[in-house]
Structure 1
Amino acid sequence: MGFLNIKNATKAYGDVEVLHNIDISVEEGEFLVLVGPSGCGKSTLLNMIAGLEEISSGEISIKGKTMNGVHPSKRNIAMVFQSYALYPNMSVAKNITFGLEMHNVEKSVCKAALADVAKLLQIEPLLDRRPGQLSGGQRQRVAMGRALVRNPDVFLFDEPLSNLDAKLRVDMRTEIKRLHEKLKTTMVYVTHDQIEAMTLSTRIAVMFEGYVQQLGTPKQIYDTPSNLYVATFMGSPSMNLLPVDVMDGADGSQFELRIGDQVTKTVQLNGQRLPAGRYTLGLRPEHITDPESADLESGKYLMIESVVEVVEPAGADTFVTTKLQDIAVNTRMRGDIEVATGEVTEFALDLRRLHFFDPKTELRVELEAVGS
């Protein structure tokens, strides 16, 4: 059993079930991120852990103790909200220590805890200010300080960076990552931003329509998505999806890839096999690139020539749109490449990074070694 254990948990409002049989076990010191679009149930699940929402069925436990029916104040959790939820008429110092004072913690203990947290979060010069005198990033630090000062068993973050501008989001993301690595505290973090999920977490639960679609490390989620939803949700730009008909070949399975209006390439899966039939082929943009960026000596690339339809310079990368199977696909090339719309250019497609999905069930289909 994990430090935080969610077992077969459901949530219903009347006859409408919004969370379905959630099973997640979080080890002590883990950083779990719940990621998914608005309305998928991630914030509802976080609120159930906090005790702000009642659990309809199943069980939630912390440190082996069942939390069903336990008041939020008795769970030893701390929550950081999207809106900061600071008291505008109190100083920063008072905002941080207010919860401790309400629990009749001695003043000397409150003062020492405040000093430690202020130093950790580098907000010592702000202690006499009020929230209205702070920037968004400073307010978020104060909100985290209020949570940290309690020394909780579990930290809960509900989209804490969504109100910040792009640069500040990146800076605060780094601060939260550094904080977790220093404190080693168990954290559960809700976001709709898959970049936050990938960079912050030790594990990710990808949610959609009240179900956990996949639970795993960032590498597992990105490299081996369990279904089409996870494949397209995680990654920016998202994974390209193409219909292909797989056939049996002498040394394994093969399929044909149409490039433009006339050219067709046969792609041989040497030593690997899929049952013959129609599949959805998944290709991440970075696995269709310019020859100079590819490891061509590996011999695992398919070289194709195709017309450039859109060029999007993005600093370190250039995103180029072309067409395969009559479908626009995104490719990622080096930042200094010189390509122009309408010209034919060469692309290197990494055959080691092909993903196949059943178009009916949308589940991932694994390749099998020939003769297995």
Structure 2
Amino acid sequence: MGFLDIDKATKSYGAVEVLHNVDISVEEGEFLVLVGPSGCGKSTLLNMIAGLEDITSGEIRIKDRAMNGVHPSNRNIAMVFQSYALYPNMTVGQNITFGLEMHGVPKPERQKAMQEVAKLLQIEQLLDRKPGALSGGQRQRVAMGRALVRDPDVFLFDEPLSNLDAKLRVDMRTEIKKLHQKLGTTIVYVTHDQIEALTLSTRIAVMNGGYVQQLGTPQEIYDQPANIFVATFMGSPAMNVVPAQVVMQNGRPAALVTLSDGEQAILPFSQDNLAPYEGREILLGIRPETITDPDSADRKSSNIAELINRIDVTEPAGSDTFVSMQLGGRDVISRMRSDVPVVAGQSFTFAVNMEKAVAFDPDTEMRIAP
């Protein structure tokens, strides 16, 4: 039993069920990120935790207390919205302490809590300003301050950084992570940005179509995706997914893939669980950074396979160069150092770290577990 338990929670609008039997248990101090494309149900689930949406069936518990039917004001949660939702006619200080005032907290306690939070968020100099005089990043800090000052059981963040520009988003991401590490608060955070999910979370729930596709640590989600949706949604660039055939080589299973010129290459797997698939088609998943030049291959890996293939496109990107080629009739992206001599149209020797490769069943699209 966790600090926050979502137990077989469903949500329906009329005859249409938009959330299906969601089961998530969040421990105290965890940073859980709900991530997925627009319309996947992540914000609906967050609103159900907050009490802004009713639960159709199932149960949500905070500290072992059922929240079904409990008014949002009685849940001891605090929510930070995408739109900041600040009162324009109030100063920053008044915005921060408004919730405490509504709960009857004496003024000296309100002022003390406000000063502590303002110092923590480095907004002490903004307390007498109105929201209209603040930048987007400053407004987001104020919105966070209003949540922090209440010392709730659970913090809920609904895409809080989506209105900020790219650089400020990165800066605020770092601030939120520092804040969590310092305070050890329990956070449920909604985003459609998978980089945000990977960098902020202690665990991630990847959602699609109202279902939790996978729940795990960032490393588990990235290295062992449960299915093709998770594999291709999480990671930038996305995981390469290539049609291949399982063959046996020296008594071990390997992937037979077709190169751009129609020739074939054999890439041996590190795991033996694919032996029963001999002769069958699979989908081979390889992250771009595990395909590189031989000199840059992972020295710790015991399974580096090489293949010679034609380069279709090179894309310099500062510290990296992204190289596109054809494998199994599909475009495959390789991520290399910027100084690797790669030229479009030429053949090149690629090194593939097969220790990091995963296989998917083409019918179910589920990962074939080791």
DSSP-derived class of the 1:178 partner? helix
Quote the Cα distance in structure 2 between the aligned partners of 1:258 and 1:283. 15
Partner of 2:105: 105
Shift of 1:162: 0.1
Quote the Cα distance in structure 1 between the aligned partners of 2:134 and 2:163. 14
Shift of 1:344: 1.8
Q: Is the 8 A contact 1:251 1:271 kept in 2?
A: no
Partner of 1:253: 253
Partner of 1:213: 213
Aligned pair 1:324/2:327, yes or no?
yes
Partner of 2:182: 182
Matched letter for residue 350 of structure 2: F
Pair 271,114 (structure 1): closer, same or farther in 2 beyond 3 Å: closer
Partner of 1:233: 233
Partner of 2:47: 47
Gap regions ≥5 residues in structure 1: 368-372
Matched letter for residue 169 of structure 1: R
Matched letter for residue 329 of structure 1: V
Q: Is the 8 A contact 1:303 1:349 kept in 2?
A: yes
Greater CA drift, 241-250 or 289-298? 289-298
DSSP-derived class of the 2:40 partner? coil
Q: Is the 8 A contact 2:269 2:357 kept in 1?
A: no
Quote the Cα distance in structure 2 between the aligned partners of 1:258 and 1:203. 37
Quote the Cα distance in structure 1 between the aligned partners of 2:143 and 2:257. 53
Gap regions ≥5 residues in structure 2: none
Pairs within 5 Å for 1:215-364: 215-269=215-269, 272-274=272-274, 275=276, 276=278, 277-295=280-298, 298=301, 300-364=303-367
Pairs within 5 Å for 1:56-67: 56-67=56-67
Aligned pair 1:149/2:152, yes or no?
no
Shift of 1:189: 0.1
Pair 179,151 (structure 1): closer, same or farther in 2 beyond 3 Å: same
DSSP-derived class of the 1:113 partner? helix
Matched letter for residue 238 of structure 2: S
Matched letter for residue 229 of structure 1: F
Give the TM-score normalised by the residue count of structure 1: 0.96
Pair 305,250 (structure 1): closer, same or farther in 2 beyond 3 Å: closer
Q: Is the 8 A contact 1:247 1:254 kept in 2?
A: yes
Pair 110,281 (structure 1): closer, same or farther in 2 beyond 3 Å: same
Pair 252,74 (structure 1): closer, same or farther in 2 beyond 3 Å: same
- Any idea what the Cα deviations from partners look like across 1:187-222, whole Å, max 9, x if unmatched? 000000000000000000000000000000001111
Quote the Cα distance in structure 1 between the aligned partners of 2:311 and 2:270. 29
- Any idea what the Cα deviations from partners look like across 1:84-117, whole Å, max 9, x if unmatched? 0001111100110111111111000000000000
Partner of 1:139: 139
Quote the Cα distance in structure 2 between the aligned partners of 1:302 and 1:328. 19
Aligned pair 1:125/2:132, yes or no?
no
Matched letter for residue 283 of structure 1: I
Shift of 1:269: 3.3
Output the aligned Cα RMSD.
Answer: 1.3
Pair 192,298 (structure 1): closer, same or farther in 2 beyond 3 Å: closer
Quote the Cα distance in structure 2 between the aligned partners of 1:39 and 1:13. 14
The percent of aligned pairs where both chains have the same amino acid is: 65
Shift of 1:250: 4.3
Q: Is the 8 A contact 2:302 2:355 kept in 1?
A: no
- Any idea what the Cα deviations from partners look like across 1:41-100, whole Å, max 9, x if unmatched? 000000000000000000001011000000000000000000000011111001101111
Quote the Cα distance in structure 1 between the aligned partners of 2:324 and 2:105. 61
Partner of 2:196: 196
Aligned pair 1:31/2:31, yes or no?
yes
Shift of 1:248: 3.8
Pair 15,120 (structure 1): closer, same or farther in 2 beyond 3 Å: same
Shift of 1:281: 0.7
Greater CA drift, 271-280 or 75-84? 271-280
Partner of 2:169: 169
Quote the Cα distance in structure 1 between the aligned partners of 2:136 and 2:104. 30
Matched letter for residue 13 of structure 2: Y
Quote the Cα distance in structure 2 between the aligned partners of 1:324 and 1:235. 20
Pair 297,152 (structure 1): closer, same or farther in 2 beyond 3 Å: closer
Quote the Cα distance in structure 1 between the aligned partners of 2:325 and 2:106. 66
Greater CA drift, 191-200 or 314-323? 314-323
Q: Is the 8 A contact 1:251 1:270 kept in 2?
A: no
Partner of 1:370: none
Pair 149,238 (structure 1): closer, same or farther in 2 beyond 3 Å: same
Give the TM-score normalised by the residue count of structure 2: 0.96
Shift of 1:244: 1.1
Matched letter for residue 182 of structure 2: K
Shift of 1:298: 4.8
Shift of 1:255: 3.1
Quote the Cα distance in structure 2 between the aligned partners of 1:262 and 1:172. 48
Q: Is the 8 A contact 1:8 1:57 kept in 2?
A: yes
